[in-house]
Amino acid sequence: MGSTRGKNTAGTKEKKFRKIRKCVVPGCKTGHSAAQTGKLSLYRLPKNAERRQAWARSLQRDVQKLCNTTHVCELHFEPRYIQRDFVHIIDGKEVRMPRAKATLTSDAVPTIFRDDLGPPPSFSPSPKSPEELSEWRKTTLHTADEQQRSDSVEQGEEVITDDRAVEEDTSDADPESNTVVLDTTNTTVQETSPATSPSEILSGQEMLLQLQTPAGCWSCLKFPSFKGAVYVSSWFNDLSSEVITEKTVVFRPQRYPDVNCQVYIGRTLIQECLVTTVKAAEEALAMAGETELCKGAASHSEWKELRSLLTSNLRNSLVPGRPGSGAFFSKGCSTTVSKPHTACNECKYIRRNMLTRKSRLSKRKEKVYSDIFPAFEVITVDESVYQWVSSQEAAKE
């Protein structure tokens, strides 16, 4: 029987680590001790694989680089994604009770970044004692319904309650108006004419097909089995007689009034966002039209010239570019650049390595040639030799 002297019989204590709770969005200071942003909610990356992929696309991050401790603060979510109250129907009226901690909806995705980041919302600390909590609820609950109505009107939504009777009649509508009101049992539906305004909400496929396209070779495509719209920027290759598509913008309707907008360069998704108005959709198209593309690391002719000189690592780091580009790109190419006719940092790095390899091999070749065929030495002749030669020639004459 061994002695327990000098041993810790109380058991080992687990070492506690302080959890890192900071917003992962670049430029956001939420969670930093030096930032005066008040008390803001931080939401962890979802565990669902599909929702995690959607967050990664919106944050423009690789899913493998995001971990379970990744947090995004509430400044990057639209207000409709944040649930701050419990909603109950009591005696036919909507009653809202504030949550102790705001939560996200199941379809929440961070969509507000950089310039769209506004000031932090006003924060009022919740009371701690039951008496203060009861008094606080009495003063805030009676204005919750009016506040919700005002917020819905600002977002362009129509607030409809169950106890409101539908009294609109189509016979009272103005015949010259562009709006036709349909009387239904539970709600009011509005159909608009094809003429659209920039601030109008996207309400159908017809409005998606009539957006103003950027300058250039842009066209709109409509498919029988697709309820949205696809805009493409293409050009025709006269040598191969094929149509090459460089940019694609896909508008896919979701829950009204949201429309999912995806911007592709070739087959690479570079941006995904939600739009609700005609102006926002046209701005997404304009952004895609102004996007400059990376010119690549090497042209096709340079690749043929340097392919045999490159190492296996350099050859494997290059891939053929998008159709019609006629260039080779780095595997980590960012696709887009800030200035026209330039390359991204990854392609610049690969190109510099290629040219360094070419220069090194050319210098080595010159050294081997000089070893085989050495240069002739320059022989200096004394002045007396020239005088003796000239005297001999004068004697012969």
DSSP label at residue 154: H
pLDDT number for residue 214: 84
Evaluate if residue 373 carries a pLDDT over 80. no
Residue 336, pLDDT score: 81
Query: Which contacts (CB < 8 Å, 24+ apart) does range 53-60 have?
Result: 54/109, 54/272, 55/109, 55/110, 57/269, 57/272, 58/109, 58/110, 58/111, 58/272, 58/273, 59/24, 59/25, 59/110, 60/271
Q: Quickly state the pLDDT bin for 120 (edges 50, 70, 90).
A: very low
Per the model's pLDDT, the better-predicted residue between 188 and 313 turns out to be: 313
For tokens 């009777």, what's the residue?
A: 165
What's the chain's average pLDDT?
Answer: 70
- Predicted local distance difference test score (pLDDT) of residue 246: 82
As given in the structure block, the two tokens for residue 50 are 């599909």
pLDDT of residue 374: 52
Half-sphere exposure (Cβ direction) of 67: Cα atoms closer than 13 Å: 5
**Domain extents in the chain:** 19-119, 205-290, 298-372
* Top-confidence residue, 60 or 317: 317
Among the listed ranges 144-158, 272-286, 311-325, which one has the minimum average pLDDT value?
144-158
Q: What whole-number percentage of the chain has pLDDT above 70?
A: 60
Tokens of 201: 């909400």
Q: At 73, phi and psi to the nearest 5? A: -80, 170
Segment among 11-20, 233-242, 245-254, 272-281 with least mean pLDDT: 11-20
Give residue 363's pLDDT.
74
- The CA-atom distances, in angstroms, between 36 and each of 29, 76, 80, 101 are 9, 17, 25, 20
Better pLDDT: 108 or 28: 108
pLDDT at 347 over 80: yes
Residue 103 C-alpha from the chain's centroid = 24
161 and 94 Cβ atoms separated by less than 8 Å: yes
Q: What is the DSSP-derived secondary structure letter of residue 106?
A: T
pLDDT tens-digit readout, 197-237: 556 777 777 888 888 888 778 888 888 888 888 998 887 77
Least confident of 29-43, 75-89, 181-195, 355-369: 181-195
97-101, 190-194, 201-205 — which is least confidently predicted? 190-194
Query: Which residue has better confidence, 115 or 122?
Result: 115
Name the residue with higher pLDDT: 157 or 203. 203
Helix (H) or strand (E) holding 48: none
